[in-house]
Structure 1
Amino acid sequence: ALTKGRETGAAVKFIDLPAWHDAFAEVENRYSDAERRYADATERLCREFAVDNTDALWDHLVEIADPEGLAERLDRYFDLVRGEAEATEPDSARERHMAEWIRAALAEDDGPVLVVCGGFHAPALRRLAEAGGPRAWPEVPGPPPDAVVGSFLVPYSFKRLDAFAGYQSGMPSPEYYQRLWDDGAETAAGALVELIATRLRGKHQIVSTADLIGARGLTEGLARLRGHDRPGRTDLLDGLASALISDDLEQPLPWTRRGTLTAGTHPVVVEMTAALTGSRTGRLHPDTPAPPLVADVEGALERLGLGGTRRLRLDLTDARDLERSRALHCLRLLELPGFTRQDGPSAGSDVTAEEHWDLRDGDGRLPAVIEAGVYGATLGDAAQTVLEHRIDRAGGDLDALSGVLFGAALCGRAHLTDR
């Protein structure tokens, strides 16, 4: 939205409350539009249209529906799911603040004002903007006086956006929707059948031409049965699953519900969902500001020779290997991807002085390091902050405290024993 807005010459502004505002203090997932509040409405709609979940409902009403009357359908949909119910106070505070920006924009210029927001907020923002009130540009609330704050861009990927990977407000199968947007439903469906077949064959799964012909017939038949002029995502996936899987399924097909893939999911289904996730990854411009932790982690990995994808054996009686081990434990404590210890000492009484690690490079590391920058400017300081948080949470639990103490020893932060 920012990029396209600038291309058209629009004056682009963020209008939501900043992350440090009290409205976000107790929110479990600050990017979620509180699905629980409109679950009843969407469940009724799913029953009415005979679809499994809100994603299939959205496809039926919007993505593969006739574009004629789309704006009216969207208005009616969000009016229904929002209803007359009051939002929680955090959401109400956000909506009041956003409405001030909208009124100020409307007052300043006769040109169109486009608000990019979650559909759940749209009915309330319309009402608040039309109800009147201050028309001056609002003041952005500042952070608490003793807080140190910063904002940094994080590169995203289709994998991180995918609801099947656990992002609560994500979308399922982002590669499918990108192709749907770029090429239309028919072309997207054909391209993704090819993508799934290629991926499965690469995993040594048998996918014959006859299987694909059968999948196409099943997909088109399901689309017609469900009242679709063209095949949608679930039509495509159901058709492929019916043609390619002859075994009993231990788990329901993941696109029939919301959530992550569960243990026992059929391997063909895993590969199908991965193909529709896609592998596109966002990039930051080299001059994009980053928290100091990014440079410190990159420097530590280069200095200690911890880059690449490989198995690593460490001798903890060797000074350099001990330094490498401590850095790896700090990286693992920050939950940065690509650093997995296979074996090594797990308690103070262990007599082994050897560790084995799996190192893996990956696109997910940079965003994780940027997000971990909130804990400190250096790798050691960031790890210590995490340890101190664990001490605070442990209270008087001796088992938890002993675990923190051993973690501090592994990270080389032994001075924490003073606490």
Structure 2
Amino acid sequence: MTSAVGRGALAGAGPWVLGVRHHGPGSARAVLAALAAARPSAVLIEGPPEGDALLPLAADPQMRPPVALLAHAVDDPGRASFWPMAAFSPEWVAIRWALDHDVPVRFIDLAAAHSLALKAATPEAEEVTPVIDPIRVLAETAGYDDPERWWEDVVEHRSPGPSTDSSTSTSSGASKGSDADDALAPFVALAEAMTALREAYGDGGQPRDAVREAYMRIQLRVARKEFGDAVAVVCGAWHVPALAARTTLAADRALLKGLPKVKTELTWVPWTHRRLARHSGYGAGIDAPGWYGHLFDAADRPVERWMTKAARLLRAEDRPVSTAHVIEAVRLAETLAALRGRPLAGLGETTDAVRAVMCEGSDIPLALVQDRLIVGETLGEVPDTAPAVPLQRDLTRSQRTLRLKPEPQERELDLDLRKETDAARSRLLHRLRLLDVGWGDPVVGRGSTGTFRESWRLRWEPELHIRVAEAGVWGTTVRTAATAKAEWQAVEATALADVTALAEHCLLAELPDALPVVMKALADRAALDADVGHLADALPALARSLRYGDVRATDTAALAEVAAGLAERVCVGLPPACTGLDADGAEALCRQVEAVHGAIGLLLAGAAPAPGLRERWDAVLHKLAGRDTVAGVIRGRSARLLLDEGRLAEDEAARLMGLALSPGTPPADAAAWIEGFVGGASGGGMLLVHDERLLGLMDTWLTRVPADMFTDVLPLLRRTFSAYEPGVRRTLGELVRRGPVPGSAHRDGVDRAPAGFGPGIDRARADAVEPVLSLLLGRHSEPTGAAG
């Protein structure tokens, strides 16, 4: 190790192995200073060598980090790996320095063809030896309990070397050697520390590193043979001792013998600061990419500039933050740093100061600073000339034409389908969903629930590039790929509901070429499926599809024919299916009855409804509402649906409720009927508010439930009434407290109050409450025995 790294640092000769922390701004500044001082004849970077052809794109004006190299297997695009780089990544700085100075630059890590094959060959459940974190070990050795704080103190807050300007030249050889020594000194110290760690921990639980390091040593030999010893290597600090070790070429080749290999493709893709954070699952090694980016960009006074950013963000969110707040926050951060023995206020001190001064001790506005500044929402860009699968290029063109820019932050998009641009946006988003590219999810719109409105929640994640690559097997454009996949799903689907959902997707995505295949599969599955539950699940999707077809001016004649046939079969098979059910089965079928009712309403509102369909469905609901063998929740829901449609008289509804709540009906069955009648369906609570006869019947039944059975029916009643709006529940309570309206005679002519609304005060019951009220009010007097 000393022979390679030490000689380069002290004598000015290479090779220079620059050990770094990935995505470390301090490492990036140190790399820039070392390259400017040493001026190597070639730069080697830890990364997949297949990416060498893509390196010149880093100098393209359209390339804006954070970006990542994406490598995926050609035959299995889902097998992929990323090499993310930010503007403050040492690897990115080294690439840009080499390109700016016309110095050859190459990647020297194990080829992606091998790493992806090894990744696939390793079972996920395989037990892995615990991996050490070298930064944590060094921090603990130095007496720190936080590795991030140690790294900030010794690296990020260290002043840059004296020769960071790449244009600076020296006339004195001695001066140049001194500058090189100063610039390379931190790398020598870090290499010595890593050598001690490797001697103590070996491979650190990463046996595959030996293969990678053997490959890098071979590439280093090749570069030295071509360019001489004046070669700089930028790699993770953990690998420095292995690259400086004296090994034979034969030994390194032996480690690489027999490695599996797959055909791969590489490209640059945009990345985000959020994906650089460790908690995102990509293990990039930093918790605060936004903070690190600030440290790299701020040439001077980083704390003052950071506090200004925080103040600007909070003011934009209507927080009262003034210049005085900024000044006090800077003073507090610097004071905290001094008390904690730190050379400069770090992230912990600045965060504490922002919380105390600008957020008044609250973590709620501080969460905004954490999300927007400390982590950040920066999304990189790649040039149009970067390689991409044809499907990705078509998607990019569509995004630009429709002015749908991919953004890392979540946002909502409202569409008016009567506008051609919005309709085209809707088609694109639905086609991408069909291809499992989850850029957008439909949500309930804020403004309108009509068929001409759609609302989407959009968020572009970097891994969606993998989804696009995977979808590329279906076609070269979004439309052809979605059509091909829809046809394949129609042929492969076995459940009727899956095919109906697919038909709905095809209409929403406007894929007329796929509809014939989907419709044939739909007709075949519908003809063979005799399960009324499957038919009931399928009908709502078909009804919605017909409505979407009307909005998009699509020919849905074949779909209407299948929907009419399904509706007829549901009307025939539903009554027998509603008998002999347990509680869970009855609840599930009740939901299906309500869904079918809505679907038939859509079919009847269509351009050419099936003749007699309304009458047949009304007859089914009447049969369900009046048949004792049908589960109570379904009978109650059927009666309610008829009442809402004006197909059931109020007197008849009261009669059915009276029968369901009669003394001979088990309380659990009666409670289920109540849940079906006044629960779930829209406006159930308001029905009781405005129809005191129904409320009185229910109250009469409830007061007569035996005490030993009341606890059995209470969960059903709580579930029913808890779904009502608070105002509805309050009104019902007031009606019960008030009692009957005078003169509300029943049909027998007797002015009868519902049970529980007694004609006078029950003094014995009132006296029983008085001691409790006295205790609550703080009055300890004895009960008087007379309620007022």
Q: Do Structure 1 and Structure 2 share a fold, with TM-score over 0.5?
A: yes
Structure 1 segment 17-36 matched on structure 2, within 5 A: 17-21=110-114, 22-25=117-120
Tell me which of 414, 428, 436 is aligned to 1:311.
Answer: 414
Q: 2:394 is matched by which residue type in structure 1?
A: D
Quick one: which of 224, 232, 243 aligns to 2:346? 232
Deviations 1:47-69 (A, max 9, x none): 45565543223212211146675
Among residues 238, 259, 262, which one is paired with 1:120 in the alignment?
Answer: 238
**Secondary structure at the counterpart of residue 112 of structure 2:** coil
Q: Aligned match of 2:333 in 219, 233, 236?
A: 219
Give aligned-pair identity as a percent.
25
Q: Residue 221 of structure 2 aligns with which residue?
A: 103
Paired amino acid for 2:478: L
1:275 Cα deviation from its structure 2 partner:
2.1
Match of 1:75 among 184, 191, 207: 191
**Could you tell me which amino acid in structure 2 is paired with residue 95 of structure 1?**
E
In structure 2, how many angstroms separate the alpha carbons of the residues matched to 1:90 and 1:313? 54
> Which ranges of structure 1 fall in alignment gaps of 5 or more residues?
250-265, 345-351
**Mean alpha-carbon deviation: is it higher for 115-124 or for 50-59?**
50-59
Does the alignment pair 1:180 with 2:295? yes
CA apart distance, 1:97: 1.4
Deviation at 1:198, TM superposition (A): 0.4
Q: Distance in 1 between matches of 2:207 and 2:500?
A: 40
> In the superposition, relative to structure 1, how do residues 405 and 49 fare at CA in structure 2: closer, same or farther (>3 Å)?
farther
Tell me, in whole angstroms, the C-alpha distance in 2 between the residues paired with 1:402 and 1:96.
Answer: 55
Q: Using the TM superposition, give the Cα deviation of residue 160 of structure 1 relative to its aligned residue in structure 2, in angstroms.
A: 4.1
- Paired position in structure 2 for 1:253: none
- CA–CA distance in 1 between the matches of 2:197 and 2:502? 47
> Contact 1:161–1:170 (CA<8 Å) still a contact in 2?
yes
| Match among 149, 152, 164 for residue 59 of structure 1 | 152
For normalisation by structure 1, the TM-score amounts to 0.69
Instruction: Identify if the C-alpha distance between structure 1 residues 189 and 237 changes in structure 2 by more than 3 Å, giving closer, same or farther.
Output: same
Q: For residue 13 of structure 1, what is the aligned residue in structure 2?
A: 106
Gap change, CA 1:189 and 1:323, over 3 Å in 2: closer
CA RMSD of aligned residues (A): 4.8
* Preserved contact between residue 387 and residue 404 of structure 1 (Cα < 8 Å): no
d(CA) in 1 for partners of 2:129 and 2:267?
A: 28
Q: 1:132 to 1:106 in 2, by over 3 A?
A: farther
2:478 to 362, 370, 379: 379
Match for residue 505 of structure 2 among 410, 415, 418: 410
Give yes or no for contact 1:38–1:81 (8 Å, CA) kept in 2: no
Mapped partners of 2:241, 2:352: distance in 1:
35
Pair 46,164 (structure 1): closer, same or farther in 2 beyond 3 Å? same
Q: 2:443 corresponds to which residue? A: 342
AA of the residue aligned to 2:154: L
Which amino acid in the other structure matches residue 37 of structure 1?
A: V
Q: 1:152 aligns with which of 260, 263, 267?
A: 267
Q: Deviations over 1:144-192 (max 9, x none)?
A: 4xx5x422221334444344655421534334333433444x5222111
Task: Assess, with a 3 A threshold, how the Cα gap between structure 1 residues 17 and 381 changes in structure 2: closer, same or farther.
Answer: farther
- Change in CA separation of 1:3 and 1:410 when aligned onto 2, cut-off 3 Å: same
- In 2 relative to 1, CA 143–405 (structure 1 residues): closer, same or farther, beyond 3 Å? farther
Task: Give the equivalent residue in structure 1 for 2:303.
Answer: 189
Question: Residues 282 and 298 from structure 1, CA distance in 2 versus in 1: closer, same or farther, beyond 3 angstroms?
Answer: closer
TM normalised by structure 2 equals 0.40
Match of 1:85 among 202, 207, 214: 202
Query: How many Å separate the matches in 1 of 2:191 and 2:399?
Result: 51
Alignment partners' CA distance in 1, 2:356 and 2:275: 28
Distance in 1, matches of 2:325 and 2:443, equals 41
Listed as ranges, the matches of 1:134-153 within 5 Å are 144=262, 147=263, 149-153=264-268
CA distance in 2, matches of 1:407, 1:163: 38
Distance 2:210 2:501 in 1: 45
Aligned to 1:329: 430
Task: Give yes or no for contact 2:429–2:440 (8 Å, CA) kept in 1.
Answer: yes
Q: Decide whether aligned partners of structure 1 residues 374 and 5 sit closer, same or farther in structure 2, where only a CA change above 3 A counts.
A: farther
1:223–1:231 Cα contact (<8 Å) kept: yes
1:259 corresponds in structure 2 to none
Shift in alpha-carbon separation, 1:306–1:108, aligned structure 2, 3 A: closer
Matched, 1:290 2:405: no
1:161 aligns with 2:264: no
Amino acid at match of 2:308: E
Compared CA separation, residues 36 and 225, structure 1 to 2 (3 A): farther
| Distance (whole Å) between structure 2 residues aligned to residue 270 and residue 45 of structure 1 | 32
Alignment partners' CA distance in 2, 1:275 and 1:173: 9
Tell me the secondary structure at the aligned position of residue 443 of structure 2: strand
